[in-house]
Amino acid sequence: MSMPSKSIPAPAPELYIDRLLALTADRGASDLHITAPSPPILRIEGRLCVQEELPPLTPAAVRDIFRQITTPEQQEAFERDLELDFAHSLPGKARFRVSAMLQRGSMSLAFRRVPFELPTLEALGLPEVCKELIARPRGLILITGAAGSGKSTTLAAMLNYLNHTLERNVITIEDPIEFLFRNHRSVIRQRELGYDTREFHSALIHALRHDPDVIVIGEMRDLPTISTAITAAETGHLVIGTLHTLDAAQSVDRVIDLFPADQQHQIRLQFSQVVLAVLSQILLNRIGGGRIAAFEIMLATPMIRKFIREGSTGEIPANLEMGASEGKQSLDQAMAELVRRGLVAREEALLASSHPAHLADLLAAGP
């Protein structure tokens, strides 16, 4: 963990959390970690930075911070479940997605910064195919990646583009709501788990009765939600969801494997018919500072649909690498291109790759 070069004075106790969140935003940190008996910790460009100039936090101090930023209902939910996800805003600075849990009997808080300004496809350098995909009238799009890989930001940028270009009725189901949208050409209704609905599955069913064109599912985490999402895509809606999977082939397997064995053949057929694309992403440190995303792009071509239908997901990675003319690419191809463009260091890409020897071969082969 790295150390910051500049210290700040200790804030007044009643403003402590606001000062910490302002510090997080001002230093461009993606995350703030509060846990006893450590000082606050920021994640800046992927590195954990202990704020040694600030005093260590006691368990009582962490609990007090939690009470300052939660409602009695949220506190009751935490005491019942021993964990809680919610959103918190610092006026004029940023919104934060907050996760509260217990560790060794004391509370720990993690704050993920969500800027007020909505991201754009151009600013993020997202693949051009995102514009075409978000304009589709029906089907299923999956955005996947590890926790903290930027899935929510990619999803928000696609919705932001849709909101300014097409007339659509959009319903989102999020846990919690992160980016806030105002209606432009589209109408966007955002529902938050725990406040506006009890669970993803029931919210998805009711969303289908609300005349939606587009349904956004913050996380496709269980069988009922995924099953209903596939049905929604079959019945003429565009459904967009996220999964915590690392690549396209793993994403397909995750969806199918959630179903009982006697249903998997039918689900492979249904899924192969409705899926439009799987976008899998990873965040890399950019040369000169900042971070940049690399994307694996699986578009549902006839061959990809055949692989899914027949259970041959092992054939997907090679097909992606041969499908550049169709807009497909593997994650290693994307990282190799970032290295060639001088945006990412070779060592950084090799460390992030699941197949570093293959990536090295791609780099050696040249453009």
User: Are 246 and 287 found together in one domain?
Assistant: yes
User: Are 249 and 336 found together in one domain?
Assistant: yes
Predicted confidence at residue 181, as pLDDT, reads 97
For residue 216, tell me if it sits in a domain.
yes
All residues at 6 or more sequence positions from 115 whose CB lies less than 8 Å from its CB, including other chains: 94, 95
Q: What residue spans of the chain are helical by DSSP H?
A: 16-26, 59-68, 72-81, 121-124, 129-134, 151-165, 200-207, 223-234, 248-257, 264-274, 302-310, 316-321, 331-340, 346-352, 356-365
- CATH (domain of 93): 3.30.450.90
User: Are 227 and 341 found together in one domain?
Assistant: yes
Please name the residue that has the structure tokens 């509260």: 100
All residues at 6 or more sequence positions from 348 whose CB lies less than 8 Å from its CB, including other chains: 284, 285
User: Are 101 and 231 found together in one domain?
Assistant: no
Range of the domain at 77: 13-114
**Cα separation, 276 vs 310, whole angstroms:** 17
- CATH (domain of 184): 3.40.50.300
Sequential DSSP letters for 131-144 = HHHHT-SSEEEEEE
For residue 4, tell me if it sits in a domain.
no
Average pLDDT per consecutive 10 residues, the chain (367 residues; last block may be shorter): 43 71 94 96 94 94 95 95 93 92 95 92 93 97 94 96 98 93 97 90 92 95 94 96 95 97 97 98 94 96 98 96 92 97 97 95 88
Which residue among 87, 114, 141 closes a domain?
114
**Cα separation, 195 vs 152, whole angstroms:** 20
**Cα separation, 343 vs 323, whole angstroms:** 24
Instruction: With H, G, I as helix, E, B as strand and everything else as coil, classify residue 320.
Output: helix
Q: How many domains does the chain have?
A: 2
User: Are 53 and 147 found together in one domain?
Assistant: no
| Global pTM value | 0.87
User: Are 278 and 172 found together in one domain?
Assistant: yes
User: Are 164 and 239 found together in one domain?
Assistant: yes
Per the CB < 8 A criterion, the answer to whether 225 and 124 are in contact is no
User: Are 96 and 127 found together in one domain?
Assistant: no
Q: Is 73 exposed, middle or buried (0-12, 13-18, 19+ CB in 10 A)?
A: exposed
For residue 239, tell me if it sits in a domain.
yes
User: Are 268 and 334 found together in one domain?
Assistant: yes
CA distances (Å), 222 to each of 26, 44, 85, 321, in order? 37, 32, 17, 31
Predicted confidence at residue 221, as pLDDT, reads 87
For residue 135, tell me if it sits in a domain.
yes
For residue 269, tell me if it sits in a domain.
yes
User: Are 204 and 344 found together in one domain?
Assistant: yes
